[in-house]
Structure 1
Amino acid sequence: MTMPELLADAVAGPGGREHWLCEGAPGIERAALMQGRSAEAVGALGAVASGSPHATRVGMGILRQGGTAADAAVAAALATMVADPPNASPAGRGHILWAPVGETPRAIDGATRAPAHVSEGVRRLPDRQALPLPGIVRALLRLHAEGGSLPLARVVAPARDLARDGFTVPRELAAVWAWRAPDLVDPDARAHYLPDGRPVPEGAVFRNPGLAGFLDRLISTGQDPFADPVFAGPFCERLAAKGGFWTVGDLRAAVPLVGETVELREKGWRLTSIGRQGWGHTLLRIVALVNSAVPGPILDIEIAHLLAILRAFEERPEELRSLKPKSDPLPWDALSARLAEGLPEGWADSAVLAAALDRARTPAPSDDRDTTHLSVVDADGMRVALTQSIGPHFGARVADPVTGILLAHSYRMAEDPVPGARDVTEQCPCLLDIGGACYALGGAGSERIPGAVAGVIRHLLNGSSLANALAAPRANWVGATARLHLDVPEGLETRLAEAGAEVSFTGRGPVDHLGIVQAVGRRADGTVMAAADPAYAGSADAA
C-alpha cells in the first residue's frame, strides 16, 4: 500500500485513538505520527519557511544575495510553482500580506476570476470548464515592484533553473502525486505529470522544460506572459479546445488589486490579516473568541477552539466547501463589529457545542483540498506572508500541452458562474506582533486553514517557541467531523462525543492533515527564526 492508502485506512478505522495506534498505519514510523518534528532555524540575515525544501532553498539564496523579504518571497513562490505542482501554478491565485518594519501592513489581491463572457444562469459547469483567469504572477510582480531591491531577472532565474534542470521529489510530495494520479485524465496533464504513465516517485528528478520556457519569457520581457498577446493568444486557442473561455482581452484585464486588511488589537499584541478577498476575518474571529476563554483548563480551551471555528464559519458570507455566496449574508460591517465579542455564557457546556454543530452540519467533503503557504522575514524586519493555490491537488487537472502549465479550478465558477466574479477562498496570510517580537505566518488546507493558523497563534500568545507552536497537537473540523491529532489531551474525544460530534484521529502527514502552517519571526534583538509544519515536505531555514 502507498502512504496515502495506509494513512487513509488508519484514519477510517473504527474505535478511536487506541484502534488507530494499535491497528492502523502499519509500516509508518509511530513517533512521526504522535509527535511534531518541527525544528526552529535561527539566524540574523533572514528566514524562510515554505511547503517545499526547494522553494525554501531558493528564497534563502536570494536573501544571501542581499535581497529583501519581498525578493525572496517572489523567488520562493515561483520555485513552488515548479517544485510543488499539485498545489501551485502560474495560472493560480494568491494573496500576499507584507510590511516593511514599522510600517502598516499592505495586501495584494491576486485572486483568480471568471472570464467576462461566462454565461449567467448556467447552474453548473463541468469541472474541466471551471477554469478561472490567473492572478498570482502579476501579484508577485507587484510585490517585487513595491518591496524588492534585486533585478527581477535575478529573482526569477532560480525557479527557471529548477524547472529546466529538475528537482528531486521529496517523500510527501511523491505520496500526494501517487494519491492523485488517477484524477489526471486530461491527456496533456498525464503527458506532463505522469511520465511513462506513472506518478513521479520519491527521489526521482522531475523536469518541466515547458514551464522553464514560461519563466524565461518572464525574465526576458519583465512582464507576466499572460499579459502579452504574443504568448496569450496561442494559449487561449489551445485552452478553447479544452472548454476554456479565456480571451486575450480577459487576460490583459486580469490585474491584481490592492487588498483590504483587517486587524485585531488586544493588550500587548496585534494580529493583521487580509480582508473580504479571503478568510482573514474568520481567522481573527476565531482568535478573538478563543482569547475570551483564556486562561482556563486545557480541555475547555480545546473545546473553545473548536466552538470558535464553528461560530466563525457560520458567519461567513460564503457557503462552506462550494464557496458560493450566501443568498442573505451578514453585512461586512456587522461581521467586523463582532470581532470584539467573546464566547457566550456557559459556552463550555456540551449543549452549546451541540447546538453549533446542528447549525453547521454540511455534507461530508468528497476529498481534502489543499493550498501552499510561505513566510519570509529579512534582516531589516520586512515580513511577507504569501498563500497561493490552484484549488484541489493539481487544480482543474487540465494542462496546457505546450508549457505544461496546470489550470486552476474555480469553485465559484463551478457553483455560481457570474462573469468577472473573483474567487474568494479560505486563504488568510497574517502578521502577528507580540511586544517586541513579530511574525509572518499562514497555512494550507482549504477550510482547515483559519483553525490551524489560529491554533499556532494561541500557542505563540501563550509564550511557546515558534517550533513548539507549530508542533503542538491540533483539533479542527472537516465537514461535521472533528479531526484530532493522536496526541490531543486525553478526554477531548469524550467531550466531543457528549456534544454529538463525530470524531476521527490522524497523525502528521500529507494526507488527512489538520492544516499546514509555515511561519517566520523576528525578535527585538534582531534574531530571526523560521519553522515549517511537520505535516508536509516543507522546510525552514535561517542565516
Structure 2
Amino acid sequence: MNKFLLGVALLVPAAPIAARDTVVATGTVTSADPRATQAGQEILRQGGSATDAAMAMMLALTVVEPQSSGIGGGGFLVHHDGRRGTIDTIDGRETAPATATPQRFVGPDGRALPYLLSFPGGKSVGVPGNIRLMAMAEKKWGKLPWKALFAPAIRLAEGGYTVTRPMNGAMGLTGPLWDKFPTIAAQYSANGQPLPIGTTVKNPALARALRDIAARGPDAFYTGANAAAILAATRGTTVAPSDMTAADLTGYKAKERAAVCGTYRGYKVCGMGPPSSGATTVLQVLGMLERFDLRAMGKDSPAAWHLIGEAMQLAYADRDKYLGDPDFVAVPVAGLIDKGYLASRSALIRPDATLPAYAAGNPPGAPRRTAALSPDVPGTTHFIAVDKAGDIVSMTSTVEGPFGSQLLANGYVLNNELTDFTAAPEKDGMPVANRVQGGKRPLSSMAPTIVYDAGGKPVFTVGAAGGKTIIMQVAKALIAHFDWGLDAKASIGLPLLFFNGDGLVIEQGTALEAMKAPLEALGHRVTIGKLGLKANAAERTATGWVGAADPRSVGTALQP
C-alpha cells in the first residue's frame, strides 16, 4: 500500500505514441489518447458538431483510458456557441447516495479514515453523471443521431485496442488491491501482473452496454439491467459495500450552471463554477498577479515564479475554506473574484519575500466556515473539440483516482468520486463546506476554460488532469500564453510550480529546477518532485484553430 501511496504522483506518461500532436485547421479535436482523438475527428468529418465530437471522445475514453474517466464517472462541460456568441456550462458531477451522512468516511474512533482505506470499494462511488450530461448537451447542441456517437467506442471495445504506458502504469499502482476485486483483475491483469504495454484488450461487456445505451437512450444507463449492474457492483462488493439505491440512479440530473467569468490583461476568462473550484481559483490566481509585469519578467525569472507561488497559495487557501456544492452551502463566488477583494489579497504579496502563512481571506458575502483539505488525487482527463461553425467544447471528465473505486459494472470503471468530499465533517467545531451529505456533489478542481478577446471572440481554450494541480496547470498555461507569448503546446508543456504542506514543489526533470535556489533565497521551502500532469489546449490563429496535447502525455490533436 505504501508503494501505491508514493506512486499516485508518478502518473507522468511517457513520450507520445503518435507523432502528430499539433495541427492547424478550421476546427480541431484534441484528447489525452490518440484513439479518442480519432473518434472526435471521425465525428467532425461526418458533419457532427463540436458537442457530437466531444461526446464521442468521452465514450471512446471510457474504453481506452479506463484508469482516468468514462461513463462510470462524471464531468464538467463548457460550451461556446459560435453562432450566438454565448457560453454555457453543464455540471455532470457525481452525487452522493441520498442516505449518505457526514460520517461516511469517519472511523470508529471518530477520526477521518485515511484515503487508502476510503477509496476502494462501493462506499466511495457516486451516482455517475456523464451520460446525463451527454444527453443534455446533445439535446442543446448535437447534430448527428445519438446512436452515431457510440460507433467509435463500440468498435474499440469489440475489436480491441492496445495498452498504453500510462494505462500500464496505473495498473501497476492499483493492481496490488485487485485480489479483492476479481472483476477488474480479470479485465486488466494476467497472472496477477499488469497487462504489458502493447497488449490488445477487448471489452465485450462494455460493448454490449454501449450498444444498449446507443439504441435506447440515456435511460438505459440509469434504469433496467445497467442500473442493476451498478447496484450489484457497489452493494455486493466485500469491500465497503454501498448504500446506493435504484432511486439514486433514476433521480440523477445533470445541471446547467452559470459560467464564472473574469478578466485578465483585457481578456475574458470563463470556466466552470461550483461545485468545481476551477474557475474561481484560476481567476483568483490571475487576479492577484495582474498588477505585476510578468511579461517583462519572462518565464525564466525567479521573481515571476515567486509571485506565482504566493498567489497560488493564497488562492488555494480561499478554495479550501469557501468552495463546495452551491445547492448545499453558500459559496461567495462573486466575492472571491471581486476585483477589490483580489487587490487586497494581492497587496499581501511582497516581491522580495514570502508570506509567513497563507490564510484564507474574507471575501464579500463570505459565510463563517473553517477550512479542511480533501484528497483530490491525480487522475482525470480533458478533451476539446472545435467545429467549422465555431462551436467549442472544453470538457474535463473523471473517475477520480486510477481505476476509480476498482469496481466494474458492465465493463466500465465506477468512480471513487465521493472521496473528493472532505472526510472530517467539522473543524474547530464548525461544519466544513465540502462535508458529505446525501445528494450532494463533491468539490472538484476540474477547470475547463474558454478565453475571449476584447471583441468577444474566443481565442484560447484549455483544461487539464491531475487532481488539485489542474487549477495551476490551467493558470500557468494562461500566463504562459497571454504574458509570455507561448503557443498552445508550449503553454501546456511549460513546467509547473505547485505546493504541498512543506512548501513549493518544482516539477522534476525540467528547466524549472534552476529556480530552486533563487526561490529558497526569497524564503520559500522548495522540493523537487514528479507531478501527475496532463493538459490539452487549442488556440485561434490566423489560419484557423491549433489543437495541442501535452508533451508529457500520449495525447494527440487532429484536424477534421
Which TM-score band (shorter chain)? 0.7 to 0.9
Q: Secondary structure of 1:106's partner?
A: strand
- 1:120 and 1:455, CA in 2 relative to 1: closer, same or farther beyond 3 A? closer
> Aligned ranges for residues 362-373 of structure 1 at < 5 Å?
368-373=377-382
Among 30, 35, 48, the alignment partner of 1:54 is 35
Opposite residue 407 of structure 2, the aligned amino acid is V
Decide whether the 8 Å contact of 1:318 with 1:324 is kept in 2.
no
Identity of aligned residues (%): 24
Q: Does 1:411 align with 2:419?
A: yes
Separation in structure 2 between the aligned mates of residue 51 and residue 538 of structure 1, nearest angstrom:
4
> Aligned ranges for residues 21-36 of structure 1 at < 5 Å?
none
Residue by residue, what CA displacement relative to the aligned partner does 1:49-77 show, whole Å, maximum 9, x if unpaired? 11111111111111111111100000001
- Residue matched to 2:293: 294
Separation in structure 2 between the aligned mates of residue 94 and residue 518 of structure 1, nearest angstrom:
15
Among 525, 531, 548, the alignment partner of 1:513 is 531
Residue by residue, what CA displacement relative to the aligned partner does 1:145-197 show, whole Å, maximum 9, x if unpaired? 11110111111111111111111122233223223322334222212222443
1:500 positional shift: 4.9
Opposite residue 317 of structure 2, the aligned amino acid is E
- 1:412 and 1:451, CA in 2 relative to 1: closer, same or farther beyond 3 A? closer
- Residue matched to 2:367: none
- 1:366 and 1:57, CA in 2 relative to 1: closer, same or farther beyond 3 A? same
Q: Does 1:431 align with 2:425?
A: no
Q: Secondary structure of 1:411's partner?
A: helix
- Residue matched to 1:454: 475
- 1:167 and 1:39, CA in 2 relative to 1: closer, same or farther beyond 3 A? closer
Separation in structure 1 between the aligned mates of residue 175 and residue 322 of structure 2, nearest angstrom:
29
- 1:492 and 1:514, CA in 2 relative to 1: closer, same or farther beyond 3 A? farther
1:98 positional shift: 0.6
- Residue matched to 1:72: 53
Among 82, 86, 90, the alignment partner of 2:63 is 82
- Residue matched to 2:463: 442
- 1:499 and 1:480, CA in 2 relative to 1: closer, same or farther beyond 3 A? farther
1:358 positional shift: 12
> Aligned ranges for residues 395-410 of structure 1 at < 5 Å?
395-400=404-409, 402-410=410-418
- Residue matched to 2:113: none
1:317 positional shift: 4.7
Residue by residue, what CA displacement relative to the aligned partner does 1:440-467 show, whole Å, maximum 9, x if unpaired? 2111011101111111111111322112
Separation in structure 1 between the aligned mates of residue 513 and residue 159 of structure 2, nearest angstrom:
49
Decide whether the 8 Å contact of 1:114 with 1:413 is kept in 2.
no
Opposite residue 276 of structure 1, the aligned amino acid is P
Separation in structure 2 between the aligned mates of residue 365 and residue 119 of structure 1, nearest angstrom:
16
- Residue matched to 1:529: 546
Please say which of residues 437-446 and 87-96 is displaced more in the overlay. Answer: 437-446
- Residue matched to 2:193: 198
Opposite residue 438 of structure 2, the aligned amino acid is P
Q: Secondary structure of 2:261's partner?
A: strand
- Residue matched to 2:308: 305
Residue by residue, what CA displacement relative to the aligned partner does 1:289-347 show, whole Å, maximum 9, x if unpaired? 22222234322211111111111101115589xx899x998734421325772421652
Unaligned 5+ segments in structure 2 are 108-117, 362-370, 424-434
- Residue matched to 2:275: 277
Q: Does 1:209 align with 2:226?
A: no
- Residue matched to 1:341: 342
Q: Does 1:168 align with 2:194?
A: no
- Residue matched to 2:493: 471
Separation in structure 2 between the aligned mates of residue 138 and residue 358 of structure 1, nearest angstrom:
35
Please say which of residues 309-318 and 430-439 is displaced more in the overlay. Answer: 430-439
Opposite residue 30 of structure 2, the aligned amino acid is A
Opposite residue 355 of structure 1, the aligned amino acid is A
> Aligned ranges for residues 76-115 of structure 1 at < 5 Å?
76-101=57-82, 102-115=84-97
Q: Secondary structure of 1:356's partner?
A: coil
Q: Using structure 1 for the length normalisation, give the TM-score.
A: 0.84
Decide whether the 8 Å contact of 2:93 with 2:441 is kept in 1.
yes
Decide whether the 8 Å contact of 1:107 with 1:260 is kept in 2.
yes
Q: Does 1:538 align with 2:555?
A: yes
Separation in structure 1 between the aligned mates of residue 306 and residue 475 of structure 2, nearest angstrom:
14
- 1:539 and 1:443, CA in 2 relative to 1: closer, same or farther beyond 3 A? same
Separation in structure 2 between the aligned mates of residue 167 and residue 387 of structure 1, nearest angstrom:
23
Please say which of residues 492-501 and 388-397 is displaced more in the overlay. Answer: 492-501
Residue by residue, what CA displacement relative to the aligned partner does 1:82-135 show, whole Å, maximum 9, x if unpaired? 111111131201000011125221000001111112245455275421221111
Separation in structure 2 between the aligned mates of residue 116 and residue 441 of structure 1, nearest angstrom:
34
Opposite residue 466 of structure 2, the aligned amino acid is G
Unaligned 5+ segments in structure 1 are 12-24, 507-511
Decide whether the 8 Å contact of 1:364 with 1:480 is kept in 2.
no
Separation in structure 1 between the aligned mates of residue 466 and residue 9 of structure 2, nearest angstrom:
20
- Residue matched to 2:428: none
Decide whether the 8 Å contact of 2:513 with 2:528 is kept in 1.
no
Q: Using structure 2 for the length normalisation, give the TM-score.
A: 0.82
Please say which of residues 457-466 and 381-390 is displaced more in the overlay. Answer: 457-466
Residue by residue, what CA displacement relative to the aligned partner does 1:490-522 show, whole Å, maximum 9, x if unpaired? 75212332455443335xxxxx32532101223
1:536 positional shift: 1.8
Number of residues of Structure 1 aligned to a counterpart in Structure 2: 505
